Each structure stands twice: as structure tokens, then as C-alpha cells.
């Protein structure tokens, strides 16, 4: 009888990220970070996420996301500023197809999120609208943004997605709606089947669901467990938006803690695959 000896090597990794590991054969072990990514666009969605920004220029009060509420997850937010009023904005995730795409792939590569919530402003009054899904369009079908080129261009990764492709939320939407409805936040939570919009809200929402689909494989070393988009009513106050965000995060982190495998699970899966290969040899 052969005895299995599994040697793990922890690789160096940027601060704040969980390091991937490899076995003695060099195979990457399934895993994930403990990072949650939040993104905002127009107010109030940028302001309500400010406490989770690790950028001291945007959040001089100090980052609140480290092991948030002792739940085992670090929460990071990224959003633009609007010193000249609502429009394109400045900084991360400017309301622009090219800028959003560049920031999206750069930031997700850095954060490697286990979960994602993208936010944007809606034309409802106090809606907390859980989008069931998002779809992509041909370049000419997207609405024009604020700076040329006005629509997605061929070099953007989303150009590889066929027009009409739909990708769906994996957030615990019903639980979030129930929890937010029962909170003190003056918002109206509900679920929409799919976002038919053709502007940046649908665009970034699609990116969140797309990232989840790209990283949902149990063997992914940076597995994503949940992603989705929330449309926030234009009359939601910053205080109510911040409270509803916190309630949403509590539901999400409870959900993640219920579905993420124990750390040993990935090693057992790898060991099983290794043994199966040895038996076939």
C-alpha cells in the first residue's frame, strides 16, 4: 500500500490576500480569499460605501473593512468622486466604458474577491433593487457615455461576449430583501428579473456576474462564491444607503460562511484526484 504524502508550499502574495498553495507536483490547490468587493458609481452609491475604502484620501476616517464585524471577511470598496456634480466622475470606476473596464480587471486581479456587489443609482425613489441578471449588447446598442469613445470598443474584454448574453446574480437575493425590509433603513427592497438598461449600471453589473462565472469552479484557486448588482434609488440618503449596505453585507457573510468549504476540503479533493491518478498509472 502506498502512503500519500501531501506537501504544501505557500506562495508569496500581496498584503491582504490569501496566498495560493501548491502541492509537491506544482498543482494549485483550490481556494479563495476572504475579500469582498463593493463598487459604487453616482451618489449615493459612492458615499454610502466610503467607510469600506482603504484609500486614505477617500476615507480619512480609516478603513472599517478589516475583518468586518468579526465575520471573517475583509470588505473593500472602490468608487468615483463627483467634485463637479453628477456625470463621469473622477478616480476609480469613472462612469465610462473604457475606464470601468480597465479598473475592473485591475482591481479584481488585486482583490481576487470571494464575493462582489456592484451598486449604481436607479431612477426609483428609494429602491434597493436586486437585479436578477444583466445582459450585454452590441457596441452600437449601448447608450453613449460622457467622453469619446462613447461606447465599448473592440479591445475591451467584453467584446468577446456575444451580444444578448445574459449572466445572473448569485447573491442570496430573497434573504437580503427580507433583512433590509426588516431593518431601520428607509429603502424599498425588491427583486427585478433582469436589467434591460443599456448604460453603465447594466455594464458593471454584467462584469460582476461575469467574474463570478469565470471563477465559480470549485478547483479555482481564487474561487468566487457570489456576485450581483443592486440599483439604489436616487433619493436614498447616505445614512440609509450605508445602513442597507451593512444589512446586505451581514446576510452575504452569513451566506458565505454557510457555503464555503472548510479549508481541509480543497486538500482532500486534491488528494483524491492524486490518488485516482496513481491508481490509473
Number of domains in the chain: 1
Report the sign of the C-alpha dihedral through residues 245, 246, 249, 251, in that order. Answer: negative
Give a yes or no: residue 133 inside a domain: yes
Task: Write out pLDDT tens, residues 56-100.
Answer: 999 999 999 999 999 999 999 999 999 988 899 999 999 999 999
Task: Write out pLDDT tens, residues 228-241.
Answer: 999 999 999 999 99
How does residue 48 score in pLDDT terms, banded at 50, 70 and 90? very high
CATH number at residue 100: 3.40.630.20
Asked if 227 and 169 count as a contact pair (C-beta separation under 8 A), the reply is yes
Strand, helix or coil for residue 158: helix
Give a yes or no: residue 276 inside a domain: yes
- How would you classify the pairing of strands 133-135 and 166-168? antiparallel
Give a yes or no: residue 218 inside a domain: yes
**41: number of Cβ within 10 Å:** 24
Cell output for 244: 442597507
Question: In this predicted structure, what is the pLDDT of residue 45?
Answer: 98
pLDDT of 265 > 90? The answer is no
Give a yes or no: residue 19 inside a domain: no
pLDDT of 22 > 80? The answer is no
Task: Please tell me the pTM assigned to this model.
Answer: 0.85
Domain that holds residue 188: 31-280
Amino acid at each position: 500500500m502506498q502512503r500519500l504524502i501531501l506537501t504544501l508550499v505557500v506562495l508569496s502574495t500581496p498584503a491582504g490576500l490569501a496566498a495560493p498553495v501548491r502541492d509537491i507536483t506544482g498543482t494549485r490547490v483550490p481556494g479563495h480569499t476572504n475579500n469582498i468587493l463593493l463598487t459604487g458609481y453616482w451618489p449615493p452609491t459612492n458615499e454610502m460605501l466610503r467607510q469600506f475604502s482603504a484609500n486614505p484620501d477617500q476615507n480619512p476616517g480609516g478603513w472599517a473593512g478589516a475583518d468586518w464585524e468579526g465575520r471573517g471577511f475583509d470588505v473593500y470598496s472602490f468608487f468615483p468622486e463627483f467634485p463637479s456634480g453628477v456625470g463621469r466622475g473622477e478616480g476609480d470606476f469613472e462612469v465610462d466604458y473604457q475606464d470601468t473596464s480597465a479598473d475592473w480587471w485591475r482591481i479584481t486581479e488585486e482583490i481576487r474577491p470571494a464575493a462582489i456587489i456592484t451598486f449604481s443609482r436607479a431612477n426609483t425613489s428609494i429602491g434597493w433593487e436586486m437585479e436578477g441578471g444583466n445582459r450585454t449588447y452590441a457596441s452600437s446598442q449601448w447608450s453613449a457615455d460622457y467622453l469619446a469613445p462613447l461606447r465599448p470598443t473592440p479591445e475591451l474584454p467584453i467584446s468577446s461576449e456575444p451580444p444578448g448574453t445574459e449572466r445572473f446574480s448569485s447573491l442570496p437575493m430573497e434573504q437580503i430583501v427580507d433583512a433590509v425590509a426588516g431593518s431601520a433603513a428607509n429603502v424599498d427592497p425588491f427583486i427585478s428579473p433582469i436589467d434591460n438598461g443599456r448604460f453603465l449600471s447594466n455594464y458593471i453589473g454584467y462584469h460582476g456576474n461575469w467574474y463570478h462565472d469565470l471563477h465559480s469552479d470549485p478547483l479555482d484557486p481564487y474561487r468566487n462564491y457570489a456576485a450581483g448588482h443592486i440599483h439604489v434609488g436616487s433619493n436614498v440618503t447616505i445614512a440609509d444607503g450605508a445602513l442597507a449596505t451593512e444589512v446586505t453585507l451581514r446576510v452575504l457573510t452569513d451566506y458565505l460562511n454557510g457555503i464555503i468549504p472548510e479549508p481541509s476540503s480543497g486538500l482532500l479533493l486534491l488528494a483524491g484526484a492524486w490518488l485516482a491518478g496513481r491508481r490509473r498509472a
